[in-house]
Amino acid sequence: MPKKILVIDDDEDIRNLLYTTLSAEGFDVITMGSGKEALDFLMDIDVDCILLDVMMPEMDGWETLRMIRASEATRNLPVIMVTVKDSRIDKLTAIKEKATDYITKPFSTEELVAKVREVLK
C-alpha cells in the first residue's frame, strides 16, 4: 500500500511539482492550498507524512505545525518544512517547533525524494 503524503503550499506550481515528483516515485499525494484547509482534512483522514511550506498567507507553516503537534492524532507525524530561509534562526525554529526535517527552496527533486524516504523509514 502506497504511503500517503500531504503537501501544504499556497503556490499552485509548487503543489503541482511536488505532486508530479512524488506521484512518479509511487506515493499517494494529496495537496492542500492552506494550513486551515489541511487541518480540517487531518481531522478525518490519516496520512504518513506532511510537506509543509513556511511562508503562507493567513496561517503560516510554523503556526500550522504547532496545531498539528497539538493534536493527539498527529503528534508524532513526520513533518518536513519547506523554507526559503537558509539561516540558523530558521533551523533553530525548526528544532523548537519539533519539525522532523526541513528542506530549502530551491531544492532538487532528488533531494526532496531522499528526504521523504528518510522520514518515512
Contact positions vs other proteins (CB under 8 A): 11, 13-14, 16-18, 20-21, 24, 55, 84-88, 105-110
- Give me the residues paired with residue 81 across strands: 52, 102
What is the DSSP track for 14-36? HHHHHHHHHHHTT-EEEEESSHH
Whole-number minimum distance, CB 114 to other proteins, in Å? 13
Terminal CA-CA length for the chain:
15
Nearer to other proteins, 28 or 69 (CB): 28
Number of other residues whose CB lies within 10 A of the CB of residue 45 = 10
Nearer to other proteins, 27 or 77 (CB): 27
Whole-number minimum distance, CB 55 to other proteins, in Å? 6
Query: Distance between alpha carbon 115 and the CA centroid of its chain, in Å?
Result: 11
Nearer to other proteins, 73 or 84 (CB): 84
Nearer to other proteins, 68 or 112 (CB): 112
DSSP 60: -
CB 53 within 8 A of CB 11: yes
Whole-number minimum distance, CB 106 to other proteins, in Å? 4
Whole-number minimum distance, CB 24 to other proteins, in Å? 4
